[in-house]
Chains A and B, each alone.
Chain A
């Protein structure tokens, strides 16, 4: 079965979509990513990831209103689906689980 795994960058994009709430479209996601992660997120990469996320049913999309700034072209807004939310939660739980297993002292010594 393809597409239940959530990759690292996919996870970040998914979180960004969730954070942007109703304003999550590709260019905004790009900007947000650049701002918060410091990575220079290219539009091509983001598009590819969005496409993959949609294929895995983690997000769904719909076209918004046309604006002049985009030459009359509509934006595609993304929202996180229940499956996506479950994947995020699962991923977070897994991390928390792992974190909790590290004794604090060990971390300090590193």
Chain B
């Protein structure tokens, strides 16, 4: 029965005791504890006894019980490390192929890792220069309106005031608003300056150093202006700026302070600050909207919490305010929460952002991609280390005979892998310096957010990272070798199960190639989709259309100037440029006064349709050319007719129908064939064109093809005539569309480079494996050859295993990518190209081609070797 079996105290406790206890005290103490344990089993039961035993073991963890650290001689430890280093160095030098493959692989993968580390470290060091950085919070609002919720970085002035007044523990608070600035005039100098409105306690909350002026009063009075050093220099040169007058539009502002230039890693970026009291004054004079609870779109509130104030308590107090205020709202709820300064650059994406913010998910994905590539390089190390175990196990055997313990062997192999990883770091660092610029120039956005400048702290991170990579790469080989016993090796090498880890190695290769294939097919699919988006048939023509931003100038004058240029064929005017992702919308009603729906809008002139070659399926272009605000006609698309069921599906019947929009009654004079006002990612929505002789946004010019440069010079001259302050801002429509899909091209580029790295690393690993295995089989191959095997059969024999692994990884990777795109990515795009089998096959062939070259090269070499020479050796 069970009673015969001795009941033992908890194993871990015993192990712990044996670990810490002085050997000379261990035996009797363990005995004592055991005796008490047995006694306790009888009196208190097994469970209690085990518990007491564990507690007792922990209680005996006292200074007089603890053994002294073993290697009391620091000299021998240093000796050991230096011996490890020396032998590692020799081994790296001796196995040149092994070292080269690993150092290159680790170097290319680690440089991506360095990039991610630098990127993250930049994001984490945002706003570090504020003295109260840990206590600064921002009020953000989540607006739930008709079911949809939008979270924004902004909040209403009203909310800010209420919170600051009623919530305890707020030391300072500041209101910020965008939209300050414009053309600043000092005498004859006119310089565009952009900035923020900021309330009086700006400098109590933030620690932007003020070079001139008094931080306590600088932003108190209306029409006060604080400039940065750079903008002061642009306006005043080297003259004193303080106290001078700067004219914005029609108002005069007094310079009350000059700031040191804003550090790059600050989420607030501005060239000037206007006092908030200025707009407060204006707002109070205008309608009551300024201080309304619902006006949550343009104001930002930051505050400093006093020390030891609980953030949660503040939130509770805020929730109370929200509940009271929201009670009077219909179908709408504005929830307010607070966000600490640290969470801003790497938080969830918010609408109305005031500074750059990278969605955390993007960083995670980047880090995950880097991780995959680095792990792939580590796999190479592991695989190759184990593959050459035939050579190295002898060495390990001798070491063990001489007296090395398991620990020493592990130390030796870990030292070697860390050393290789540190070598790789040197190259990775050079690569990092080389790819830093291209990475920054990937996108303007990236350049705005990070600088990737080197700092001592960053270098320390890099080194730690390299050591960690070395540990990860070396741990499996180290454990593998440490298990080898001396007798095994010296007695009979073949008894050693070298191929015990074959399955591990095979699965590592499959994993590597699966990832490579996923990356490559993602790149190819992504690239095809991207291409299809920028060449998408939008339903109108964008060829050779140049969109010129008017920047507040009179477009009529400019159009006259343009008409004089022969290369400019046709000119039109519009409020916005559509199909780039930005919308301008409003509500419309038809017969039923209760049924209103959102539609997308553009104001255009009579030439707009012909410049862009829109197709009219019923009715005509605008017939009248009324002055602004007097229009009576509208052009609509088919979708709008469908939405309101105008004309019962017959566009002809819709002509002459009257709709109501923004309080105006407009008659439909023309119906346009459906086109993409938004991007192809969105479904086609109801669209209306309204007439305006002076929409003010853009002038669209169709340029004759052969003389593009001449036309551009002409346009530039024409622009100079009407605007001397601003530079011409003209872009070709096609380029703008490309610009609008920039994010996709960035993603494709990033994934593309990752797939390149992944394939290179995996191929190098494969090459190494092929080299080791074929070398091991050299004798076998020679005998086969002597027996009459042909080169072809030999190559087939040696490569079939590897090819099988590749096909296996393709069978895993390709369906995965297919499902991922079909079910998760492409469903987000309303109009897209279907996935094609050829994309998948192409990626498979690319990988196969590279891998086959690697395998073929080596197997051919071995198959062609002269069996006489091989067999004569030994």
Contact = CB atoms under 8 A, between A and B. Distances in A.
Interface of A: 25-27, 43-44, 47-48, 51, 63, 69-71, 73-76
A27 B32 contact: yes
B28 A75 contact: yes
> Majority SS of interface residues in chain A?
helix
Nearest to B62: A48
Given A43-B36, A44-B56, A75 B29 contact: no
Nearest to B26: A73
A63 B29 contact: no
Contacts of A75: 28, 31
A70 B31 CA distance: 5
A70 B56 contact: no
B36 A27 contact: yes
Given A25-B32, A27-B32, A51-B64, 9 more contacts: A25-B28, A27-B36, A44-B56, A44-B62, A51-B25, A70-B31, A71-B6, A73-B30, A75-B28
B36 to A, nearest CB: 6
B56 A74 contact: no
A44 B17 CA distance: 14
Which range contains the number of B residues in contact with the other chain? 10 to 19
Contacts of A51: 25, 64
A44 B29 CA distance: 10
A27 B60 contact: no
A43 B33 contact: yes
> Majority SS of interface residues in chain B?
helix
Interface of B: 6, 25, 27-36, 38, 56, 59-60, 62, 64
A44 B32 contact: no
B30 A71 contact: yes
28 contacts: A25-B32, A26-B28, A26-B32, A27-B32, A27-B35, A27-B36, A43-B36, A43-B56, A44-B56, A44-B62, A47-B29, A48-B64, A63-B28, A69-B35, A70-B31, A70-B34, A70-B35, A71-B6, A71-B30, A71-B34, A73-B27, A73-B28, A74-B28, A74-B31, A75-B28, A75-B31, A76-B27, A76-B28
Closest 4 pairs between A and B when the two form their complex, measured CB to CB: A73-B31, A76-B28, A70-B31, A71-B34
Nearest to B30: A73
Contacts of A47: 29, 32, 60
Nearest to A31: B39
Nearest to A66: B31
Contacts of B56: 43-44
Nearest to A61: B28
Nearest to A71: B34
Contacts of B32: 25-27, 43, 47, 70
B61 to A, nearest CB: 10
A28 to B, nearest CB: 10
A47 B38 CA distance: 19
Contacts of B60: 44, 47
A24 B60 CA distance: 21
Nearest to B28: A76
A61 to B, nearest CB: 8
A25 B36 CA distance: 13
A73 B36 contact: no
A49 to B, nearest CB: 11
B56 to A, nearest CB: 7
A73 B34 contact: yes
Please indicate which of the listed interface residues A63, A69, A70 has the most CB atoms of chain B within 10 Å of its own CB. Answer: A70
A80 to B, nearest CB: 18
